[in-house]
Structure 1
Amino acid sequence: MVAAGGKLSFAAVINYPPNINYLRQPVTWTVQEANGGSITSNGEYTAPDKPGVYHVQVQREDFPVLIALATVKVESGAATVFTPYLHVETKSVTVKAGSQYFFSASINYPPDIFFIRQPVSWSLVEVNAGSMDILGRYTAPDKAGVYHVKAQRDDFPEIFQIMEVIVN
């Protein structure tokens, strides 16, 4: 998907016959529909100003029967950019030794993506900090101290939060 008048970059991955080297990749890019936008010889597509569904074709020049097709949906207005987040309301909690606490996280989902379970993993930062299950249930150790629980998105692992647990 791309906004009307927006740009996309396409790339073709091809194999080469043994002992043959090309000065440039032997492919030709075209847009199938008239007024469906334009594409350069390097695969840089510029969408038309009119919303619709268009098709970009790449064809090997050395083996012309090999063709690949990509469908491009051009939307009016700016294309929405998905920004993932992870939010855990509890930043710090105090619990008794050996007791349990249930953490929960809220996240947003990419458009048209569905999961069987929420893609969040729970873990403990310190060794001997108790135990944690897949649903966010924390069981404190018998030893008092300050420990940390980590919530991390499985689909965007660079997004995580660390919460403090004070065991007394």
Structure 2
Amino acid sequence: MSTTQNERLRGLLDPLVAEFALELEDLEVATVGRKRILRVVVDSEDGVDLDACAELSRAVSEKLDETGVMGEAPYELEVGSPGAERPLKEPRHFERALGRLMRARLTKEAGGEEIVARILGVDEDGLDTEVQGVKGRKSKPRRLAYTEIDKARVEVEFNRKNDEEKGEEA
């Protein structure tokens, strides 16, 4: 998608998404075979449920038809949330993942390693983490600046008990 089209779409959809108390995380126009797909990814502090995606999808579809910004060629519209293993790019993404595990590839300047760490705290400069021990080693605290993180995503944990359950068992 051209930058101009991307900017037009973002300018058109940002205010509409905000009306639904959501944030526009990403949008992409992809060509699959002969058809185009417009993917709109939204999120909020409380997450996004299926009903919100459906309502927003109808509103986006109406707005796109009304403005003609997608042109005359047919396209499919997909509206969804980032998903469980979302990439963490913005400080707000890390804040929403507070308490969760992340897998991060550090920049070359920060050692270039891949780590798995629990996000313990987030501020404007970076995050406090507890890096998981490898092969029976103990976890270690580590402060990471956002500039030290090349790529990061949330790790899905299937067997983790939440803090309340842990407290009740003690």
Specify if TM > 0.5.
no
Larger RCO, structure (CA 8 Å, separation 6 or more)? 1
Rg (Cα) greater in structure? 1
TM (normalized to structure 1)?
0.20
